[in-house]
């Protein structure tokens, strides 16, 4: 059974950094694409970044490219999201997601991910 547990959220000021963690139990990194999404109040859940299952290649939303870095530690079964130069518009609940059967053309669609964590709140003050 796949389970995802996020941690690391908090309240920071604009320009600060945070690192989110997602412990992924029951997941083989080579078989699952692991990703991060976020959802702000009143908005739809949006893609942030993911690591492709077979290649380990990272993909990013344009809004976070150059500021966020996704990585994983296979020994700890953990995927990280390093967030630098945070902006108030990054404020959201951040979710970890995993799926073994994604295709590239729909990888930014949250409905394509089978398993989700409970989310962690990130608040960036101006």
Q: Judge contact between 115 and 98, C-beta under 8 A.
A: yes
Per-residue CA distances from 89 to 19, 40, 83, 109 (Å): 17, 9, 13, 20
Q: Judge contact between 19 and 32, C-beta under 8 A.
A: no
Cα separation, 52 vs 17, in Å, equals 24
What is the pLDDT averaged over residues 20-30? 89
What is the pLDDT averaged over residues 51-63? 94
By C-alpha distance, which of 7, 1, 46, 9 is closest to 23? 7
pLDDT for 28 beyond 80: no
pLDDT for 112 beyond 90: yes
pLDDT value, residue 54: 84
């Amino acid at each position: 059974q796949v389970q995802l547990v996020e941690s690391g959220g908090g309240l920071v000021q604009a320009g600060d950094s945070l690192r989110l963690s997602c412990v992924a139990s029951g997941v083989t990194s080579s078989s699952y694409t692991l990703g991060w999404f976020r959802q702000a109040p009143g908005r739809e859940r949006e893609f942030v970044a993911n690591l492709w299952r077979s290649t380990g290649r990272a993909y990013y939303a344009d809004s976070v490219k150059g500021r966020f870095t996704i990585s994983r530690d296979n020994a700890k079964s953990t995927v990280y999201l390093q967030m630098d130069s945070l902006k108030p518009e990054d404020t959201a609940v951040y979710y970890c997601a995993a799926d073994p059967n994604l295709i590239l053309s729909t990888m930014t669609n949250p409905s394509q991910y089978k398993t989700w964590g409970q989310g962690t709140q990130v608040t960036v003050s101006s």
